[in-house]
A and B are shown apart, each in its own frame.
Chain A
Amino acid sequence: MAESQAILQTTDVVETNERSLFRKLIRNRFAAFGLFIMLLLILTAIFAPVIATHSPDKMNVTKTLLGIGAEGHLLGTDNYGRDIFSRLVYGARISILVGLGAVLFGAVIGSLLGVIAGYFGGKFDSIIMRIMDGLSAFPFILLAITLMSVLGQGLMNVIIAIGIGNIPGFARVVRGQVLSVKQSEYIEVTRSLGAKHSRIIFHHILPNSIAPLIVYATMSIAGAIISEASLSFLGLGVQPPTASWGSMLQDGKNFLVLNPHMATIPGLAILITVVGINLFGDGLRDALDPKMKV
């Protein structure tokens, strides 16, 4: 009885913490707006087949470059006669998949490297961090471009290419956290009690690094979405005819005179998405810890 009550109490505490975090986010109008955009994007991606009015890849040579609203095409058609609205809806899937996938990839590998570097220090630290320095010694996008030119087009390759670029950032954030947590007294106590390295890392250090990690990951999703669009725009992204906002922009670039909205609309979609994620990330940081430097 007493035990179950204790458990109840602890869950209570956790719940109120989460609730107050959520409340803080909602009260921050900008963060709430960002959250709204992110949810909208996720729902669009999930229900793309329901929302889309046409098949995104179906060409129709008799109906190319239609204007907005013409012949049942909400946002017109592109140079192949494909429905722009439907491509936009399906493009959200690519953005979400790459955004989440690449960040997850970078976060898992980067955190692991960061933990090893920070926890064990010494040689591990200098070798790992040197490699991270090397990886970030040229523009992020250039690394992704070079990787893509070797790997070839495709969704999985885009995720890997952008994911690799995300590794150094996560490694640094986690390493910094580990270094600061490692010094704290309770870790020393735990260690003196004979806890294993893995236990200390997974039960004590990682949970303490989670807040900055989440904020950093949120911000990185925005960067990954822009990178995917950039790669697809350069023809180094997903395989055509898969609809991606970047490749739609690339197509639209050639029809600026005839059909300017073909280029305008996918760009707006990217901009709004990224603004939304950044707003949410800012709000999250402020709600978790305003002093956090990420």
Chain B
Amino acid sequence: MSNELLKVENLEVQFKSGSTVTKAVNGVSFTLNRKENIGIVGESGSGKSVTATSLLRLIPTPPGNISGGKILFEGKDLLTLSDKEMRDIRGNDISMIFQDPLTSLNPVFSVGDQIMESIKLHQKVSKKEAKQKAIQMLQLVGIPAPEKRLNMYPHEFSGGMRQRVMIAIALSCNPKLLIADEPTTALDVTVQAQILELMKKLQDEFNTSIIMITHDLGVVWEICHKVLVMYAGNVIEYGTVEEIHDQPMHPYTWGLLDSQITESVEDHEMLTTIPGSPPDLRQEIKGCPFAPRCSYARDICFSKAPEMVEVKEKHFVACHFQTKETRLNRKERSTHVRAVVKS
């Protein structure tokens, strides 16, 4: 068995509406090994969620369309599978959890039914066995009195509890890969930590790889081995967590790091923002997509798109000034720091 679980090559996703085409994902590539976790980071609209959803071929088609690339899962290209074969993979080999646990569980079915549905779909088990398995899953994700909880409906659960249920559903068939699309964003800070802890624990138990979609680099440092930084549908930096954490290279990554909330400052938290907003993906972008917001940008950035270069081992960056030969000196943080008073 090869150690490589997933290899994405040059993935392109477009959305068509009338005559305008939005290039939501523009040539994303990465590899993920077994038991390895990767974080996909970026602002909203960077294409990270679309990338994740495309892996399971779940983007709404039309208007969405995977227009190019390969998604090799255990060597098979998912894009060439039939609908039936794809359904056998969903929820079984690859499962997904979503951002908002309040809306991602179906309100009119009991929690037990929703867990058992997955189990019965992918495993040849009796109804009774499915129920046992569901109870066991609820227990695993830390829901007390699972036998009783099984017959309750999502609205009788708190947000954190519901996300635990989603995790139970996702892991109920021992998937090899779990795609988590901002699983903690909608939760309270304390609950966030609990859910992350739970995911880490269960990953060890289930030997599952995780793709963690997030805009929160803190989450990435916590559980990921690799990081993919996306901007405007493009990967702009990719490497191991150690590399990106210790030596981030792309100016956009610097911006992302600076805009993390520093916990040490209490009342007057310093929050940096990257000035400007992401480009309109409906238009053809010439040059580096980040150039208009980049304080280091020069003429070349606006005319020529930078190539992805392996600047160091296991560290790729797409920036004209970050190559094997050249290095950019990171300016002081204060250049674009704005004070935000936390209310």
Indicate whether A and B are direct neighbours in the complex (CB within 8 Å).
no
